[in-house]
Structure formats: structure tokens, C-alpha cells
Amino acid sequence: MEHREERMNALYEDLEQNLTLVGATAIEDKLQDGVPQTIANLGIAGIKVWVLTGDKQETAINIGYSCQLLTDDLIDIFIVDGMNYNEVEQQLNKYLDTVRSQLQRGVTESLIHPYLDDLNSLSENAEGNGYALIVNGHSLVYALQPSMEALFLDVASSCKSVICCRVTPLQKALVVDLVKRHKNAVTLAIGDGANDVSMIKMAHIGVGISGQEGMQAVLASDFSLAQFRYLERLLLVHGRWSYFRMSKFLRYFFYKNFAFTLCHFWFAFFCGFSAQTLYDPVFISFYNVFYTSLPVLALGVFDQDVSDKNSIRYPKLYTPGLMNLLFNKMIFLKSVAHGLLSSFILFFIPYGAFSYAVDPNGLNIDDHQLFGTTVSTILVLVVTVQIALDTAYWTNFNHVVIWGSALFYLGMTILINMNFFGNPYVGTFRMTLSTAHFWFTLFLTIAILLVPIVAIRFYYVDTHPSLADRVRLRQRLSHLRTRPSEPTLRISSVRRSSRRSIRSGYAFAHQEGFGRLIMSGKIMKKSKSSNFTNNLHATPKAQNHWSNKSNNSREKGSPSTVEV
């Protein structure tokens, strides 16, 4: 039917005449708790948030203001609502020219903050001015065409916020695929309904919310959350810790293996490249399996530079991960150079000390086995102390595996070099420990390799501290100030019950729970301490009022978002 909308409006005008307003109905459809603050913190961290929703344009704009994606600080809000190809192209070109002209004047600011910044502004929510882009489903059909997708992506990338409304599930997946193909970024898609499944599968990381619209999104996702606000902790705490630990793990792993392997390279010049090994064959087999494996695993599992509370409090700490500052090609080359230099010092200092050396009894101690044992012992001790310097968060397990690995090496080497096993290196380790050359070489090598590392790190922390260094310093000072001078009586159960909210925290809790019955005290066993407990709790009347208020409220699942 042609001109269907105009004819329907004319029909409405004919029918809706001389009517009396009897009443009006409304549906309360609120966002989940913490959604605006979560999106604001993700924006401060440098994560770009795109909202892809099936709601109409007016509703999408209201959601944008509720989520703080749209604010009064924006310079302008671009609305793409063209109904054909030419209109959409004209609108996008117009908006792109506007953004470029403002960028040339220096009005807008970068959305990704530098790694070094003022600590006092770390927790601020202000991101400065910018633009927002709103695209409806009809215009998105033309914007996603191959001839226009580059223009659309340029405009969207230049805007602080992007909202796509009236989009189909297929269009959600196409938008994610567009970002994946043209941007060097990792995409994360989060949704709570069956219409978000294609988008979740298309993104690099899919997150499903177990909400009121079923479990399809959860089953198709990589991670499952109960509420949208938990995404903040998933990214800013666990995601950041994971990147921090993996970067340290890789740097140390390359360092210790290059330091171990390249000693053979230096030894090859003195054995005529005959493929003779410098170390004991047993040591070669045990080095990566027993002597140095557990400390680096503990580093990759438990290490953290700042606490979880400070990771959320200062979202800009997430920025180094976006910029690949903790592990990149330059960091890899530095680790290789560190291992190369360490192997050079580990080999030539013992070589110079034991070359034509004799003990006080006149016996030669410059043989191959004693020299190889010296180098291997110093190597294990140096890499063990190095990982102790790299560890920022100490646990009991870290102490056990780090210092235990060094002790295990000493005990295992003594055991293997006994006559019981028939090892060709019988008595070599005890002979090595009894010489003054070994102890002189040990302390000299450790000093040459580790003292510059400690000095350089202290210099950079003192003169060029990063955001993590500043937050770590503030964290330590706060721990010193809040350290209790004397033990205090802690009543954990009473304190926990007084702070806990009666309302269920899950978005899919439709029915009234047992909170009112529990808080009424009818099922509690009377005891002598009941008077003391009742004095610390709120009155039952106030508790029933809170329970009724929470039960009558219904929360809405979060809109679908794409994060770049």
C-alpha cells in the first residue's frame, strides 16, 4: 500500500473525535543499579561504548541520557535519519566535516588519556567535550553498505558516544564485524536477550546477562554476569590484572630462558663448536621443569600491582592495556637484551675467576664440571632473586615457591651428585661450595646483574612514576594510616547483616522472596544475646517498609553495547 502512514494518520483523525479521557497507563522500565556509573567509568578508562538497541529513537536518546552516554557537555548530537542512500551520505559527510573543523581548532580532546597524568584527576568522571552519533535502523541499512561503511566508521570513531536504534539482530552483528575488520581493536559485546546472540558470537569477547529475557545470551557468551554493573569489575579489575600478570609472565619467561640458553652460545667459542654442553644434563632437564617453573606460575596467578578497590576507583589505570604499554615488541626486545647481557656476565665472570685457578692445597679447580656447576648455581640464584624483585604482591605461596625453588635446587643437586645415582658429576657440587672462588664469583655476579636493576627501578619510580606507581604509593600510605594500634572486637555477623540490602541483587528475581519472613525474626531462635542483637538492627517496621519498596520495583536488563 502506498502512503500507508499518511492514510493511517488521516484515519486516526477521523476516529479520534469527541473522546473523553478516562485514564492513562504507563510501564516502569528502569535500568539496573549501577549502569550509569559503570558506563562512565568505562569511558574514563578509554573504552568506547556503542549502544545497539531495538528501541525507537526517542527511547534510545532517553537511555543515552540515563546511562550518561549523552550529557549536556557534548558539543552537538548528530542524528542520522535519512531514508535513502543520498540523504545518509550527505548527513555523514556533513557531520564528518564538522568534526574535522573542530579538531583543527583544538576544541575536542582525546578520549584516551596518557599513561602519565595527574593523580588527583584519576577518579574524575569528566571526559571533556565531544560529539554523539545517533543512527536509526533505516539509515543503518545504507551506512553498512560497502561503499559507505568507511565513511560511517570514520564519523562514529570521531564521536564520543554512538547509539544505534531500531536495529535488527543481524545489523548488530554487522556493526561489530565492521569494527573488527577496520579497527585494530578488541571488541566486547554484552546483551541479555536472544536478539543479542549474533552480536555476542561476532565479537571477540561475548558477555551474556542472565536477565528476564531467557538464557540464550548466556549460553552463547564467553562470560556470564548476573547484572550489567559487574562488567566494571570484570574489565577494570580481573581484565587488568590478567593483562598485568601475563605481561610480567612473558617478560620474565623470555628473560630466564635466554639467560639459560645463551650461556651455551658463549661456551661454544671455547669448545670448538663441538656441541658439548656447559651444564650437567640433569640440570638441563630440571631447569624449566622444577627449578624455575613454580615461581613464574605464582607470578602469573597471584601478582597484582594495586588492589581491586583502587582499580575501580581509578579507571585510568586500565589505559596502559589499551595502548599495549606493558608488553609489545620493544618490551620483548628489552627482555631478550636483558637475558643476553645476563648470560654474558654469568659465563665470563666465572670463566675469568676459575681460569687456571687452584685451591689452597694446590689442586686445580678449573675443570669443566666445576665451571659448569658454578654457572648453573649462580644462574638459578640470579633468576630467583630477579623474580622476587618482579613480584609486587606477596602471598604465602609466593614465598614457598620462590625460596623453596632455590632450596630445592641445592638439595636436589647434592642428592644427584652422590655415588648412589652414578652421576658423572659426583662430588662436584660439594667441591664447588668449598672454594672461595665460587663465593666471590657468586656475590660479584649477583651484584653486577641485580644492583643496576634495583637502581634503575628506584630512579624511574622516583622521577618518572606511572599512574600505577602513584596509586600504589597512596595505597601503602593509606594502609599505614589505617593500621590498628590495638586489637578491636569484631562482630562480623551483626555488621554484615546491618549493611546488606534486603532487595535481591538479581535482575531475574520476579517473585517476592523470603526477606520479610527472615527479617521479621519469627524463625530466629531466642537466646540470651537476642536483646543485644535487636539493639544493633533496625526496627521490624522499617525493614518491612524497605522490603515492600524493593519488591514493587522492577528492573530492566541493560541495553546491548559494543565496546572497542
Q: Is 9 annotated as a binding-site member?
A: no
* Contact between 127 and 74 (Cβ < 8 Å): no
Q: Is 390 annotated as a binding-site member?
A: no
Tell me if residue 142 falls in helix, strand or coil: helix
Q: What number of residues does the chain have?
A: 564
Burial per residue of 432-457, b for 16 or more beta-carbon CB atoms within 10 angstroms, e otherwise: bbebebbeebbeebeeebbeeeeeee
Alpha carbons 378 and 447: distance in angstroms, whole number: 11
Whole-angstrom CA distances from 470 to 5, 116, 301, 462, 464 are: 61, 10, 23, 10, 10
Q: Is 54 annotated as a binding-site member?
A: yes
Q: Is 43 annotated as a binding-site member?
A: no
Tell me if residue 345 falls in helix, strand or coil: helix
**Which residues have CB under 8 Å from 399's CB, separation 6+?**
none
Q: Is 29 annotated as a binding-site member?
A: no
Q: Is 76 annotated as a binding-site member?
A: no
Residue for cell digits 528476564? 212
Alpha carbons 202 and 187: distance in angstroms, whole number: 9
Whole-angstrom CA distances from 537 to 294, 298, 449, 518 are: 48, 43, 60, 13
Beta strands per DSSP E along 23-144? 49-52, 76-80, 131-136
Tell me which H or E stretch contains 155.
Answer: helix 149-158
Sheet holding 560-563, edge to edge: 76-80, 131-136, 161-165, 49-52, 560-563, 188-191, 205-209, 223-225
Q: Cα Rg for the chain, rounded, in angstroms?
A: 33
Alpha carbons 177 and 203: distance in angstroms, whole number: 7
DSSP state at residue 497: H
Residue for cell digits 596467578? 301
Give the cell for residue 460. 624511574
DSSP bridge partners of 208? 191, 224
133: closest CA among 146, 145, 143, 148?
143
Q: Is 334 annotated as a binding-site member?
A: no
* Contact between 292 and 286 (Cβ < 8 Å): no
Q: Is 118 annotated as a binding-site member?
A: no
Per the annotation, where are the binding residues? 53-55, 166, 172, 192, 195-196
Q: Which residues are annotated as a binding site for Mg(2+)?
A: 192, 196
Q: Which residues are annotated as a binding site for ATP?
A: 53-55, 166, 172, 195-196
